Chains A and B, each alone.
Chain A
Amino acid sequence: MKSLIQKLVEIPAPSGYEMQIRAAVKVEIEPFVSEVKIDPLGNLIAHKDAASGGLKIMVAAHMDEIGIMVTHVDENGFIRFTNIGSVYLRTCIGGRVRFLNGTVGVIGIERTDNRSEVPPVEKMFIDIGAAHRKDCPVRVGDVAAFDCPFLDMGDRLVAKAMDDRIGVVVLIETLRQLKKTPHQLYFVFSAQEEVGTRGAITAAYALEPDLGLAVDVTSTGDTPKGVKMDVSLGKGPAIKVRDTGMLSDPRVVDWMVRIAQKAHIPYQFEVLENGSTDARSIQIARAGVPSGCLSVPCRYIHTPSEMVDYSDVQNAVRLLLELLSGEDKPF
C-alpha cells in the first residue's frame, strides 16, 4: 500500500483540475468494479455490483488538493497568484509549487518591515526562473500544487496531499480486498472538495444513496501545544461525531463503533472544531441522507508535509471492509 500512497500523493491535482489523479485512480480500480463513470464536475464514480437488496451506500474520498492559481505574470517573469482552497500562507514562504505542465517554482515575498507578520497573498510571488514575461511558460489561470517529496519514516508517512489521497488509497484498497457485500456500493472519488465540497453535492444528487460515508483526514491533538483534541496518530481511525459542517447520524456512529469493537479494530471518537468533509454535502442532498465519516488522523493538515500513521491507514481499510461487507446495518 505504501507504493500506491507514494504514487498518488505525488500527482498534482488542485481542485477543479483533477484530470491526472483521476486517470491514475481509474487504472487502479477498474479491475474491481463493474462500472466507472465521470460526471460533469469531474467526479469519478465507481459501482461495485452486488446482489440486489441491502443499502445503497455512497463512500466518498476526494481526489483534489489545495493549490494556487496564477493571476498575473509581471514584465520580469514573476508570477502572482491566488489560493485554491484553504492555503496557510505562512507555509508558503520558501515553498515550492509544481504546475500541471511540470514547471516548478519557488515562492518569494516582497520586502517587509514587519518580519513577524505573514504577508497577504498579494505580496507573494512565484519565481520559476524566467527573466521576462515572454520566457514564462505559465499563464493566467494555470494551476499548481505544492511540491514536496513523499517521505517514509517507517510507521509514519509524510507528504503533501495526504488530505485526501490517503482516503483515496483507503477506498482503492477496500475495493481490492472486498470479496462480497450485501449492499449496492458506489465509490465516489470526488472533485472540488477543498473549495466547498462541491463535487459531493452533485454526486450525491445523482446517486440518491440510503447512506453516505466520507473517508477523509482529521486533525490531531498530539503535538506540542497543539489544539486540545482527543485524536492521536497511531490510535486507530477516528469515527466522526461532529465537525463544523455536519452532525453525523448517531445511528451511523453507533454502527461504526459496534463493528469496530466486534472486529477488535482500534478506533477513536472525533469532534473536529475546524473543518468539514464531503459528508456534509451528502447529508443534505435531495431529501436528506444519513451520513457519517471515517477519518484518518493527520498532523500538519494543509501544509506541504502532512503526516499520517501507517497502522491507522491499515486499520481504516479493515474497518471500512467490515462496515461494507457485513450484514449488520446502521438502520
Chain B
Amino acid sequence: MKTKRGAISKDLPKLRSAEIQLLERLCNAISVSGDEGEVREIVLEQVKPYADEVKIDALGNVLVTRKGITRRSDTRRLRVMLAAHMDEVGFMIVNDEGEGIFRFGVVGEIDSRQLPGHAVKVGSDHIPAVIGAKPVHLVEESDLKHVFPLDDLRIDAGPGNGKGGKIKVGDWATFAIRFKRIGPSLRAKALDDRVGVASLIELVKHAPANIDLLAAFTVQEEVGLRGAGVAAYAFDPDMAIVLDCTPANDLPDWHGEENIQYNTHLGAGPAIYIADRATLSDPRLVRFFIETAEVQGIPYQLRQPGGGGTDAGAIHRRRIGIPSISISVPTRYPHTAASIARFSDWQNTFSLVYTALSKLTSEVLAGER
C-alpha cells in the first residue's frame, strides 16, 4: 500500500450499497459470449437517463456517448473510449442425448478440470442443471490419476427438458452460483468482467465534464476480443481505457519460496497493465496513471507483464492507431464457478479511473509515444 500523499477530491463518487446491488444483478445475469442480452438490458436501463446518445451496433455492443462541457471555445475536448465487456465464459449445448442429458462445449477459455460437480443454469429460462461426474463411491484408485476430458462430461437437467422441452442444441449455459458479499470480499461468477461493466456504468453516470466519454459495453471478448475492435472503429477515439479483471494468483508458495508468478495481489489496488500478449500499453498512459495514483494516494499495482489479453488488443490497432491501456480489478479464480475480489480494489479502481479522467488533458498524449 502506498502512503497517502494527497487527498482524493471530495466530489469523488463512492461505491455504496446501491452500486453493490447493481453489481449483484450484473453478476447473476447470464450473458455468455454471443448471448449478451441480459446484461445489455441492465446496461441500457442504467445509462439511458445520462447518455447523450446510445446505440446498439451490429454485433451487439452498447455504444454510449456522454459529451463533456467546454469552458473555453478554443480547447478541443479529448474523445476517450472506455470499454468493459458484457460477456462471460460459459457453455453451449451441443447434443441432446435424451433423459435431460446434454453434451456441451465451452465458450471462451475454461479449464475443464474445474467443471465436474458444479451447478449450472441453461438457456434464457435459467433451467437449473448440474455437470455430473462419477461419485467417489464408485471411483477406482486408477481413476483418481486421470482427468475427465470435456467429451466425457455431461450437463444433467433431468427428464422433460430436452426434445420439445425448454433446452435445445445451441442454448448457452453458465455457472449457477449467486453473488454474495463476504466481509471485505465479493464472491460471484463472472466478476470478469461485470465489475468492469459496473464501474463503466458509474463512470457514465458521473462522467467528468472535461472529456467526451465514449463508453463501449462490448460483446464477445472471451472468444477473441471481437466486439471491441468494431466499437473502436465506430468511435474513432483519441485514446482508450479498458476496464477488466485480471487473475490474482497470490496465494503463498507452499514450499516457502517467494511467489514470483502472482500476476496481481488482492487488496493491493487497481492493476495497471504494461504489457500482455495482445497489447503493449501506451507508455504515456502508464506514466499518467501511475502518477495520478501516487499524487492522489490511491493504492495501485503493476500487473506482471506476460500472457493474456484484453479488449485493448483489438482497440489499439484500429484506424491510425489508438493509444490504449487496461486497468483491472484483481480477482482470484476467474473463469471458474466462483471468483473472489476485494471491494476495496473495486473502489480504488473506480477512484483511480475517475480521477485520471477528470485530470486528463491533451498534454498527456502531446509527446511521442
Contact = CB atoms under 8 A, between A and B. Distances in A.
A254 interface: no
Contact of B304 (A16, A71, A74, A191): A71
A82 B305 contact: yes
Given A16-B280, A80-B260, A122-B261, A71 B320 contact: no
A192 B280 contact: yes
A168 to B, nearest CB: 17
Given A42-B369, A74-B260, A69 B320 contact: no
B128 interface: no
Interface in A125-157: 139-141
A41 B368 contact: no
A315 to B, nearest CB: 34
B286 interface: yes
B322 interface: yes
Interface in A49-85: 69-72, 74-75, 80, 82, 84
B275 A84 contact: yes
A42 B281 CA distance: 12
B258 interface: yes
A206 B320 contact: yes
Interface string B246-283: 00000000000010110000000000001100001011
B302 interface: yes
Contacts of A16: 275, 280, 283
Contacts of B368: 19, 22, 38, 42
Contact of B274 (A74, A122, A140): A140
Given A82-B306, A84-B275, A74 B258 contact: yes
B369 A141 contact: no
Contacts of B302: 139-141
Nearest to A141: B274
A111 B304 CA distance: 24
A140 B304 contact: yes
> Interface majority SS on B: helix, strand, loop or mixed?
loop
Interface size class of B (residues with CB under 8 A): 20 to 34
Interface in B262-321: 274-275, 280, 282-283, 286, 302, 304-306, 316-321
B317 A198 contact: yes
B196 interface: no
Nearest to A70: B305
Contact of A202 (B305, B306, B321): B321
Given A39-B320, A198-B317, A206-B320, A15 B280 contact: yes
B323 A40 contact: yes
Interface string A36-47: 001111110000
A272 interface: no
B319 A17 contact: no
B305 to A, nearest CB: 5
A108 to B, nearest CB: 14
A40 B275 contact: no
A17 B283 contact: yes
A261 to B, nearest CB: 38
Given A16-B280, A41-B321, A71-B260, 4 more contacts: A38-B369, A74-B258, A82-B305, A198-B317
6 contacts: A15-B280, A40-B320, A41-B316, A70-B305, A71-B260, A199-B321
Interface of B: 258, 260-261, 274-275, 280, 282-283, 286, 302, 304-306, 316-323, 365, 368-369
State the 6 A-B residue pairs at the shortest beta-carbon distance, nearest first.
Answer: A16-B280, A202-B321, A141-B274, A40-B321, A41-B321, A42-B369
